[in-house]
Amino acid sequence: MTTQTEGPVLRTAEMHLLTPASPGEATVVSTERCTASRKSASFVRHVALDVSGTPLAGRFVPGQSFGVIPPGVDDAGKPHKLRLYSIASPSRGEDGAGNVLATTVKRSIDEHREHHRLFLGVCSNYLCDLQVGEKVKVTGPSGKRFVLPANPAAHDYIFVATGTGIAPFRAMCMELEVVAPASRVMLVMGAAYATDLLYHHDFEKAASRPGFTYLTALSREKQADGSPARYAHERLLDHREETRELLASSRTLVYVCGIAGMELGVLQAIATVLGPTGSEAYIRGTQDVMREPGSWDRRMIPRQVQPTRRVFLEVYD
């Protein structure tokens, strides 16, 4: 059992080549729903943007985000602020030349706080409404901590996603297939219902490769095998032996992306599978804390429950 807590040297990621003061102009080249079924109650689109001619072209890496500046002004009459979207493409882009990057956008739909009329999130609905050929203002790239290691083939990976948190893992899986084909990957995708799974058919295909395990976690219905509703981290426990074997290797890195709060369950699952001593490679905490992962809550991260540099978290509301 390893206690190596040192993180790997990460791949160099360029930042802020395009800023809000001086954004670039991208063109929509494709837009399609990427839920497993059109019956899904959520609307999530795979939107591909041509960034050729801007400094973004060829200079983004999986795990980074880019900014979108929606047109128009907010309630205070100020221009809308940019929103961040994870890059869902490998560094070679959707086109193989780094000129087209894609993201995975979920329409944000709510009732208005004051008068219960329909509230449509500004930027997600703008992006999802865009038609092929339309232009969009982009910034970035941003983020340099949630990226693959500089030597990706020296590692194996556990990726845990909920919802659009799958975007960076689509990018990373496509990247690894080329730059680290022998690395093991365990990908866990969490969604409410089977109809909501994103890029499901692509990942099913990827799972036919040796060393690639694809697990789905449905939180509001039974799993395909008849077992009860499950959150993403619970699938790590269902597949405890494979999870333990992967986690016990000093090659393994854990990446978590999606709804804020999901990191707690993943860290608890690691501590449960490896036990207090074994999990030192991924989590630091006092002996008392490490003995009782079931009693942890979110506020204990990162002070009392401290992920090591082998754990990468990117969560958002």
Ligand X SMILES: Cc1cc2nc3c(=O)[nH]c(=O)nc-3n(C[C@H](O)[C@H](O)[C@H](O)COP(=O)(O)OP(=O)(O)OC[C@H]3O[C@@H](n4cnc5c(N)ncnc54)[C@H](O)[C@@H]3O)c2cc1C
Determine which residue in the list 30, 52, 108, 308 makes contact with ligand X, applying CB under 6 A. 108
Kindly state the smallest distance separating residue 118's Cβ from ligand X, in Å.
Answer: 10
Instruction: Please tell me whether residue 103 binds ligand X under the rule CB under 6 A.
Output: yes
Residue 77 or 210 with smaller CB distance to ligand X: 77
Determine which residue in the list 60, 85, 199, 296 makes contact with ligand X, applying CB under 6 A. 85
Query: In angstroms, what CA-CA distances link 209 with 9, 91, 194, 241?
Result: 27, 21, 22, 20
Kindly state the smallest distance separating residue 208's Cβ from ligand X, in Å.
Answer: 26
Residues 6+ apart with CB under 8 A from 297: 264
Instruction: Please tell me whether residue 123 binds ligand X under the rule CB under 6 A.
Output: yes
Whether residue 229 contacts residue 220, with contact meaning beta carbons closer than 8 Å, is answered with: yes
Structure tokens at 74: 């907010």
Instruction: Please tell me whether residue 162 binds ligand X under the rule CB under 6 A.
Output: no
Instruction: Please tell me whether residue 113 binds ligand X under the rule CB under 6 A.
Output: yes
Determine which residue in the list 1, 28, 29, 122 makes contact with ligand X, applying CB under 6 A. 122
Residue 41 or 153 with smaller CB distance to ligand X: 41
Residue whose C-beta lies closest to ligand X: 121
Residue 82 or 215 with smaller CB distance to ligand X: 82
Residue 109 parent element (H or E): strand 109-111
Instruction: Please tell me whether residue 179 binds ligand X under the rule CB under 6 A.
Output: no
Q: Please choose, out of 92-100, 107-115, 195-203, 217-225, the segment that lies near ligand X by the rule CB under 6 A.
A: 107-115
What's the CA gap between 212 and 64, in Å, rounded?
23
Residue 280 or 314 with smaller CB distance to ligand X: 314
Structure tokens at 57: 């072209």
Structure tokens at 92: 């070679």
Q: Please choose, out of 13-21, 101-109, 217-225, 258-266, the segment that lies near ligand X by the rule CB under 6 A.
A: 101-109
What's the CA gap between 313 and 262, in Å, rounded?
10
**Binding residues for ligand X restricted to 210-239, rule: CB under 6 A:** none
Whether residue 172 contacts residue 148, with contact meaning beta carbons closer than 8 Å, is answered with: yes
Determine which residue in the list 69, 84, 237, 259 makes contact with ligand X, applying CB under 6 A. 84
Structure tokens at 192: 């409410």
* CB neighbourhood size of 195 (10 A): 17
What's the CA gap between 45 and 31, in Å, rounded?
6
Percent helix, strand and coil across the chain, each to the nearest 5:
25, 30, 45
Instruction: Please tell me whether residue 91 binds ligand X under the rule CB under 6 A.
Output: no
Residue of 67, 61, 46 lying closest to 128 (CA atoms): 46
**Binding residues for ligand X restricted to 23-82, rule: CB under 6 A:** 65
Q: Please choose, out of 12-20, 90-98, 108-116, 266-274, the segment that lies near ligand X by the rule CB under 6 A.
A: 108-116
Helices H, strands E: what count in the chain? 7, 15
Q: Which residues bind ligand X (CB under 6 A)?
A: 65, 83-86, 103-106, 108, 110, 112-113, 119, 121-125, 164, 167, 314, 316
